[in-house]
């Protein structure tokens, strides 16, 4: 029944009054074609990179045995995971399709919505699959290259990673661009962006389950293997006698690689769609160019990143991190230049000072740098936080944990200040940049908000390179494991250790980057949600008016009563914040339960086959892989369903509850009825939409802070242990080291399961509320 309402979204926008008078300049369509062209080009570049990586030497037979086992495990997991996610997505698609057909008004748009949703889901899955296809083959080639030169190994790993980076950004760009084209965006540029929200929702859905499933898998295998291997059996990490060792290596791929890829795919998809919706508000100023601008930024992102990856080379003595940083600087410089060109060419017009708008983009880029720097400060061993944890390890595990949690709780402070400053500055620059624009209906607020949107695009303008560096992490980690397990000489091991250490750094930085972009993009997505509610209400009032029903819209009304002193908003906010805690708790417990199954299987294998520990027979790696796969997929369902279900439940409950409370909108909200749109004398019921807004916004704030606590706390514990392993405070085997291992283990599900899953949750909340907004009204 209610799904009929879902369709009102697409329907209502068809009837939207045009907010300005600027005609569509058909020559502007060229920007769409340029963006799509660059997207295709980037896919071609990814193909070339992939071929280059795959044609490299695939190592010795001994190495291949291990690599094949990892590959098979990862592919088996992905196949089963995609089957589960696919089924879920299909069910949702059918329900939406059927719901749209319940009302003749909405039926014509059913196909569009479902297509948009499915395209988003498929693109996200495809990006994840392709990236992992290459990275689980790049690992052995990196290992093999390390036998000859560090540079070759570095380049193999980075190029393998770049395939993920390019495919993710290119597919997001092409997906949004093609849908925009097919839905008639060139003729109705102000209506079509709203129809693309399904794409973001599809991407979010896949990302949530990919990150949850992958995150549970990777840490359950890691913790399980450590508990039973290092602690019980006393064998080193990555020892081939440990039946869970392959599962552990598989985990790096399905968690860090496929998971983070889906995360960034979702970020760019949501940001693309959100920024296009905000571009609609400024249509009278920029025309279609303001709407296509986000796509061009990602085209620049792709070109800059391809060149950035191409210039990375090193020698055998340099720290690989320096080489990776050089590539990042090249990418950033090119992205800045391209950004300046695009702003100048596209965001121009009467009264527009494009320099100010470029400054918004620069604010975003600086924000990205600062987030990366802050993450380094909190997670690298040369700074106070990690040092303090290492020192606290001297008095045992309890003080190590207390100190790590204190560091984790401190970490949100600087990022919050940076985000606050970035929002204020980019808002101010946006207002200044458009101060000369005097068009009715375009307030300073819209100008400022567009400034923050440009900042978000600036922040994401080197995403492809960042993602390449991130995927570099699991590839080098795997390469190190293969070298270790195939008994290569120490000299080779040293090289992969250097790469692995750089990979750990890049993985940590990407998490900082991901949470930073999520929090900046959040504001953009809030604004898009409010714009959408306003549009739907306006359309309904206009419809009623056209049908001869008395309807009233207060002058200058916009949906801004997300007032936390109203019961629906406050309760929504409480529930949103609570969701982030409960979700994290479920994710962490899922890791614990799955890890227990690993421990049990390894113990069983040691008991059933005593030859394993003696080295006379091989453990059954596949059995362990299969057990983790099944358990992780089962465990991801509950937190995932909670994340999808709670916002929907809140919206529906408050929509219906409101009518029990006193007179109309005043009952629960306290807003006098002459300030509220009415249809046929009855105030439009905004309680559901308000409650969901409260849930979305406060859930996001709480989620961002919790994610920072977990990501950085976990990273700091990890590096405190590594710092002690370099010889500090007694070095390996000391009591301090034992204490630090406890902290490291606690941090694992924090930083690799719950934290990254929270990034995705935040964006899912935004896209799900965008898609289901009509349901709540």
Positions in 344-383 near its own copies (CB under 8 A): none
Q: Which of 115, 444, 165 is nearest to 304 (CA)?
A: 165
Q: Which of residues 225-264 bind its own copies (CB under 8 A)?
A: 227, 231
Among 657, 716, 724, 772, binds its own copies (CB under 8 A): 657
Sole binder of its own copies in the list 672, 681, 727, 731 (CB under 8 A): 672
Interatomic CA distance for residues 15 and 540, integer angstroms? 9
> Residues 713 to 772: which contact its own copies by CB under 8 A?
741-742, 745-746, 749
- The label of the residue with tokens 């514990």 reads 717
418 binds its own copies (CB under 8 A): no
C-alpha torsion 697→698→703→708, nearest 10: 100
Rounded Cα distance, 257 and 250, in Å: 10
Q: How far apart are CA 93 and CA 540, in angstroms?
A: 25
For its own copies, what does the binding mask look like between residues 188 and 227, x meaning CB under 8 A? -----------------------------------x---x
CA 630-632-638 angle, to 5 degrees, is 110
Question: Closer to its own copies at the Cβ: 125 or 703?
Answer: 703
Stretch that binds its own copies, among 152-160, 311-319, 456-464, 664-672 (CB under 8 A): 664-672
* Range in contact with its own copies (rule: CB under 8 A) among 46-54, 156-164, 255-263, 574-582: 574-582
Hey, which residues between 598 and 617 contact its own copies (CB under 8 A)?
599
Q: Which stretch binds its own copies (CB under 8 A): 15-23, 316-324, 543-551, 696-704?
A: 696-704
In the complex, least distance from residue 701 CB atom to its own copies, rounded to whole angstroms:
5
Residue 427 interacts with its own copies (CB under 8 A): yes or no: yes
Which is closer to its own copies, CB of 36 or CB of 701? Answer: 701
- Shortest approach of its own copies to residue 279 CB, angstroms? 17
Nearer to its own copies, 321 or 536 (CB): 536
Contact 177, 39 (CB under 8 A): yes
Site for its own copies in 448-487 (CB under 8 A): 448-449
Sole binder of its own copies in the list 709, 772, 773, 775 (CB under 8 A): 709
Classify strands 551-552 and 682-683 as parallel, antiparallel or unpaired: unpaired
Tell me the per-residue interface mask from 156 to 175 with its own copies, x by CB under 8 A, - otherwise: --------------------
**For its own copies, the closer CB: 630 or 667:** 667
Shortest reach from residue 302's CB to its own copies, in Å:
31
644 forms part of the interface with its own copies (CB under 8 A): no
Report the side by side order of strands in the sheet with 551-552.
551-552, 678-679, 682-683
Q: With respect to its own copies, which residue has the nearer C-beta, 192 or 742?
A: 742
Residues 384-403 that bind its own copies (CB under 8 A): 392, 395-399, 401-403
Indicate the residue among 376 and 561 with the shorter CB distance to its own copies: 561
Q: CA 689, CA 69: separation in Å to the nearest integer?
A: 50
Question: What are the b/e assignments for 45-62, b being 16+ CB within 10 Å?
Answer: bbeebbeebeebeebeee
**Residue from 176, 431, 469, 683 in contact with its own copies (CB under 8 A):** 431
Q: 60-66, long-range: CB within 8 Å, 24+ apart, which pairs? A: 60/144, 60/486, 62/486, 62/487, 63/140, 63/143, 63/144, 63/482, 63/483, 63/486, 64/140, 65/486, 66/140, 66/240, 66/246, 66/249, 66/481, 66/482, 66/485, 66/486
Among 21, 27, 663, 680, binds its own copies (CB under 8 A): 663
Q: How far is the CB of 392 from its own copies (least distance, A)?
A: 7
Near its own copies by CB under 8 A: residue from 64, 101, 671, 734 = 671
User: How many angstroms separate the Cα of 443 from the Cα of each of 145, 146, 289, 343, 439?
Assistant: 58, 59, 20, 21, 8
Selection from 315, 336, 306, 312 nearest residue 324 by Cα: 312
**Among positions 693, 758, 770, 775, the unique one binding its own copies when judged by CB under 8 A:** 693
Shortest Å distance, C-beta 456 to its own copies: 14
Among 108, 120, 85, smallest CA distance to 771 is for: 120
Q: How far is the CB of 156 from its own copies (least distance, A)?
A: 35
Closest CA to 244 of 625, 765, 757: 625
Residues 582-601 that bind its own copies (CB under 8 A): 582, 584-586, 588-589, 591-592, 599
Find the helix packing angle between 354-379 and 687-725, rounded to 10°.
50
Which range binds its own copies by CB under 8 A, 174-182, 477-485, 541-549, 665-673? 665-673
Please pick, from the candidates 103, 613, 661, 730, the single residue that binds its own copies as defined by CB under 8 A: 661
**How far, rounded to the nearest angstrom, does the alpha carbon of residue 190 sit from its chain's CA centroid?**
27
- Give the rounded distance of the alpha carbon of 345 from its chain centre: 30
Q: How far is the CB of 350 from its own copies (least distance, A)?
A: 18
Angle at 517 between CA 370 and CA 81, to 5 degrees: 130
Residues 499-538 that bind its own copies (CB under 8 A): 523, 526-527, 530
């Amino acid at each position: 029944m209610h799904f009929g309402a879902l369709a009102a979204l697409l329907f209502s926008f068809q009837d939207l009054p045009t907010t300005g008078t600027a005609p569509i300049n058909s020559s502007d369509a060229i920007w769409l074609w340029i963006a799509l062209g660059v997207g295709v080009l980037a896919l071609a570049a990814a193909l070339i990179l992939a071929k280059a990586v795959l044609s490299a030497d695939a190592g010795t037979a001994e190495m291949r045995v291990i690599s094949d086992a990892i590959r098979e495990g990862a592919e088996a997991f992905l196949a089963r995971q995609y089957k589960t996610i696919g089924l879920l997505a299909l069910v949702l698609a059918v329900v939406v399709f059927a719901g749209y057909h319940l009302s003749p008004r909405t039926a014509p748009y059913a196909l569009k919505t479902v297509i948009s949703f499915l395209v988003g889901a498929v693109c996200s899955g495809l990006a994840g699959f392709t990236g992992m296809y290459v990275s689980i083959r790049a690992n052995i080639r990196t290992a093999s290259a390390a036998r000859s030169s560090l540079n070759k190994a570095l380049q193999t790993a980075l190029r393998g990673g770049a395939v993920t980076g390019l495919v993710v950004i290119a597919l997001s760009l092409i997906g949004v661009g093609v849908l925009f084209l097919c839905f008639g965006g060139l003729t109705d540029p102000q209506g079509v962006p709203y129809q693309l929200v399904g794409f973001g929702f599809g991407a979010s859905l896949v990302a949530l389950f990919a990150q949850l499933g992958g995150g549970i898998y990777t840490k359950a295998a890691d913790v399980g293997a450590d508990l039973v291997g290092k602690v019980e059996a006393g064998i080193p990490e990555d020892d081939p006698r440990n039946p869970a060792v392959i599962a552990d290596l598989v985990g790096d791929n399905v968690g860090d690689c496929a998971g983070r890829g889906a995360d960034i795919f979702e970020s760019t998809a949501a940001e693309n769609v959100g920024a296009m919706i905000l571009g609609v508000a400024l249509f009278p100023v920029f025309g279609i160019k303001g709407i296509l601008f986000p796509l061009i930024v990602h085209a620049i992102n792709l070109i800059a990143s391809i060149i950035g990856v191409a210039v990375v080379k090193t020698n055998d003595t340099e720290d690989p991190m320096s080489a990776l940083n050089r590539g990042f600087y090249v990418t950033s410089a090119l992205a800045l230049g391209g950004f300046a060109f695009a702003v100048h060419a596209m965001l121009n017009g009467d009264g527009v000072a494009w320099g100010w708008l470029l400054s918004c983009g620069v604010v975003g880029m600086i924000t990205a740098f600062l987030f990366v720097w802050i993450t380094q400060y909190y997670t690298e061993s040369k700074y106070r936080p990690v040092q303090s944890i290492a020192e606290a390890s001297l008095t045992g595990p309890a003080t190590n944990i207390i100190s790590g949690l204190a560091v984790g709780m401190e970490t949100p402070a600087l990022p919050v200040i940076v985000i606050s400053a970035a929002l204020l500055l980019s808002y101010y620059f946006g207002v200044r940049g458009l101060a000369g624009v005097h068009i009715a209906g375009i307030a300073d607020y819209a100008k400022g908000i567009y400034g923050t949107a440009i900042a978000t695009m600036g922040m994401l303008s080197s995403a492809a390179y960042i993602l390449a560096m991130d995927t570099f992490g699991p590839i080098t980690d795997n390469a190190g494991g293969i070298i270790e397990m195939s008994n290569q000489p120490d000299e080779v091991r040293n090289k992969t250790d250097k790469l692995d250490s750089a990979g750990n750094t890049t993985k940590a930085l990407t998490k900082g980057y991901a949470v930073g972009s999520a929090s900046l993009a959040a504001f953009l997505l809030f604004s898009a949600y409010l714009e959408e509610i306003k549009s739907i209400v306006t359309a309904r009032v206009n419809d009623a008016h056209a049908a001869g029903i008395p309807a009233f819209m207060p002058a200058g009304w916009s949906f801004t009563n997300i007032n936390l002193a109203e019961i629906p908003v406050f309760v929504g906010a409480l529930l949103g914040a609570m969701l982030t805690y409960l979700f994290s708790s479920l994710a962490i417990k899922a890791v614990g339960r799955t890890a227990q199954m690993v421990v049990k299987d390894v113990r069983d294998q040691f008991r059933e086959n005593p030859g394993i520990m003696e080295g006379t027979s091989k453990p059954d790696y596949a059995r362990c892989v299969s057990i983790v796969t099944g358990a992780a997929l089962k465990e991801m369902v509950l937190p995932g369903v909670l994340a999808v279900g709670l916002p929907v439940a809140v919206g529906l409950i408050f929509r219906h509850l409101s009518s029990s409370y006193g007179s109309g909108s005043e009952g629960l909200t306290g807003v006098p009825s002459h300030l509220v749109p009415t249809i046929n004398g009855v105030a439009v019921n905004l309680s559901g939409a308000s409650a969901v807004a409260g849930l979305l916004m406060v859930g996001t704030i709480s989620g961002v802070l919790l994610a920072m606590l977990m990501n950085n706390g976990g990273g700091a514990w990890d590096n405190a242990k590594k710092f002690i392993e370099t010889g500090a405070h007694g070095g390996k085997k000391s009591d301090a080291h034992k204490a630090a291992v406890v902290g490291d283990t606690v941090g694992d599900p924090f930083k690799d399961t719950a934290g990254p899953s929270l990034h995705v949750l935040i964006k899912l909340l935004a896209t799900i509320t965008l898609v289901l907004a009509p349901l709540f009204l």
